[in-house]
Amino acid sequence: MKSTLSKVQPKARPAVKPFQNLPVADFQKAGEREKLEAAQRAVHGSLGRDYPLRLGGENRATGDWVVSRDPGNPQVVVGRAARADAGLIDQAVEAAARAFESWRRVPHQERARLLFKTAALFRRQRYELDAWIILEAGKTWVEADADTAEAIDFLEFYGRDMLRYGQGQRLAPVAGEDNRLDYRPLGVVAVIPPWNFPAAILTGMAAAAIVAGNTVVLKPSSETPVAAAKVVELFERAGLPPGVLNFVPGSGAAVGDGLVGHPRVRAIAFTGSMEVGLRLNELAARTPAEQPWIKRVIAEMGGKNAILVDETADLDLAAKGVVASAFGYQGQKCSACSRLVAVEAIYDGLLEKVAARAQALRVGHPQDPQVQMGPVISEPAMQKILGFIELGRGEGKVVLGGERARVPGFENGFYLQPTIFSEVGPTARIAQEEIFGPVLACLRAPDFEAALEIANGTRFGLTGSVYSRNRARLEHARAEFHAGNLYFNRKCTGALVGGHPFGGFNRSGTDSKAGGRDYLLLFLQAKVVSEKLGAAPAQRSAGKGAEP
């Protein structure tokens, strides 16, 4: 008797909702404050732990340690990460290469789903991640949460974008042919992130490589290895197979250079200084006989960003944007404003407003939610910035700051005052070299055209901003201000995933546009297969159950 039961159909997977940026937490609300306060207490109970290497999904101790300290209170050890050496690079790359053979065959929908699962875990651990970033990177509450929120945005955005790339590319029809273009992964990718966005940039680069079907050897910054270990743990908890993401802290010279030069590494994703980026690009360009490919380099390398203000601008709005851009996270962002270029007519008045706002910033340990500026990342960084400040005394006039900041109870911390120089010339070193600290050089221009020429007068081209009510000038800047990310009447920091694809011109990098719809393509290669229709008839089945 024939069954009347209908065949059971598999449940359709729910449609992926359109991407939306995750808002930064509002710590004015008691509930949000209490969550982060509780997370900080929990993190303080976990300080000083050891974090091993992860090679092929297994822990590996080395007996040597990268010691991470709280830059606001260097006596506090945040944690110790096992230090890899050059001899372990082969093992890490081999583990990634073995995992690639299976991971590249995982359907793109499953790889995207893994990113969504990782994002869900990030949300659950959001305030714990914030607390680690506050302690290890010296970020304020808001800056730390923005870091974590951006990491979540990268996971959600790249997961969705892989669903698009996984469909291939529509080609023009050719009579009598079936032509298809599909995207394939590259292979083993070396991911070398910076310390200043220990969740967001690391997660974004690793997630893009992974969702595209590549495997990763991750060399985190030696300044923030604990935050990196926490990110790796979340990927693994989401179900990432062993060997897809390998964790190898260590020095740039031993681990970074070894990875970049390794013949089985297919691509390098790097964010950091211009000097290091140029050297890694040179290393990657070498092609030993045993290496079958030309390595791909995806690099973001910093900037010397300018905010231009003309006489038609809202000066209060401009001053607010300048201070946020110059001194947010102590000026330790590649997008930070380090030059203010103002036209003669409003220069003095604007400078007065900027200095007053900067002077009101509260410097202290970022565990305090009222603090607006924490420490710089390390003793060497602080000494480098102080060296630029001394240099600036001979290149301009100190309007504000210029010294270490004294924070009661944290006298050994790496705190600096927000520092402003006026009357700086366009060719001065403090107007040309990336300082990566809370130092703003102010330059005077006779008119808008001269100001634009000054703004463009560097080797870099990452971000910029123009404050003006003159539409013709804004449109002129749109065409002629040479920066990868240009903003009108707003600050030059705070790019949002999906809304402000990020990357710069000239020596600011390869204009990779992280967080944009072109970014995953950097981790993929296109393959076209063309079939002449009717030329190869299908074979008949040889018998019942046989394969065609």
Cβ–Cβ contacts within 10 Å for residue 104, how many? Answer: 16
250 and 66 Cβ atoms separated by less than 8 Å: yes
Q: If we measure between CA atoms, which residue out of 28, 142, 198, 148 comes closest to residue 371?
A: 142
Classify residue 540: in a domain, yes or no: no
First to last CA, the chain: 32
Are 375 and 461 found together in one domain? yes
The stretches of 436-524 forming alpha helices (DSSP H) are 448-455, 471-480
DSSP H or E segment with residue 524: strand 524-532
475 is catalytic: no
Q: Is 528 helix (H, G, I), strand (E, B) or coil?
A: strand
What was the pLDDT predicted at 263? Answer: 97
Low-confidence ranges of the chain (pLDDT < 50): 1-10, 541-548
Are 238 and 310 found together in one domain? no
CATH number of the domain that residue 345 is part of? 3.40.309.10
Q: Is 415 helix (H, G, I), strand (E, B) or coil?
A: coil
Are 318 and 255 found together in one domain? no
Here the tokens at position 163 are 């669903």
Q: Is 57 exposed, middle or buried (CB count within 10 Å of its CB: 0-12, 13-18, 19+)?
A: middle
Residue type at position 146: A
Cβ–Cβ contacts within 10 Å for residue 348, how many? Answer: 11
User: Which residue of the set 128, 136, 334, 442 is catalytic?
Assistant: 334
Are 106 and 233 found together in one domain? yes
395 is catalytic: no
Within 8 A by CB and 6+ apart from 244, the residues are 96, 99, 103, 210, 215, 216
Are 484 and 522 found together in one domain? no
User: Which residue of the set 150, 223, 300, 434 is catalytic?
Assistant: 300
Strands 73-82 and 65-70 turn out to be antiparallel
Q: If we measure between CA atoms, which residue out of 264, 250, 154 comes closest to residue 215?
A: 264
Q: If we measure between CA atoms, which residue out of 532, 510, 531 comes closest to residue 521?
A: 510
Are 268 and 388 found together in one domain? no
Classify residue 409: in a domain, yes or no: yes
Backbone angles phi, psi at 341, to 5 degrees: -115, 110
CATH number of the domain that residue 145 is part of? 3.40.605.10
Classify residue 1: in a domain, yes or no: no
Look at the chain and report how many structural domains it folds into.
Answer: 2
Contacts of residues 388-392 at CB distance under 8 Å and 24 or more positions apart, as own/partner, are 388/429, 388/430, 388/433, 388/435, 388/437, 388/439, 389/419, 389/439, 391/429, 391/430, 392/419, 392/421, 392/424, 392/428, 392/430, 392/439, 392/441
What was the pLDDT predicted at 246? Answer: 98
Are 192 and 212 found together in one domain? yes
**Residue 168: left if φ>0, alpha if ψ -120 to 50, beta else—which one?**
left
Are 524 and 477 found together in one domain? no
Are 276 and 311 found together in one domain? no
Question: pTM for the whole thing?
Answer: 0.94
Classify residue 129: in a domain, yes or no: yes
Dump strand ranges (E) for 199-241.
215-218
Tell me the helix, strand and coil percentages in the chain, rounded to 5.
40, 20, 40
Classify residue 123: in a domain, yes or no: yes
Q: If we measure between CA atoms, which residue out of 245, 285, 240 comes closest to residue 261?
A: 285
Q: If we measure between CA atoms, which residue out of 457, 455, 465 comes closest to residue 485?
A: 465
Q: Is 485 helix (H, G, I), strand (E, B) or coil?
A: strand
Are 128 and 265 found together in one domain? yes
Domain with 402, as residue range(s), is 305-488
Classify residue 90: in a domain, yes or no: yes
Distance separating alpha carbons of residues 301 and 135, to the nearest angstrom: 25
Are 291 and 314 found together in one domain? no
Classify residue 386: in a domain, yes or no: yes
Are 387 and 407 found together in one domain? yes
Classify residue 111: in a domain, yes or no: yes
Q: If we measure between CA atoms, which residue out of 341, 377, 277 comes closest to residue 492?
A: 341
Distance separating alpha carbons of residues 293 and 267, to the nearest angstrom: 10
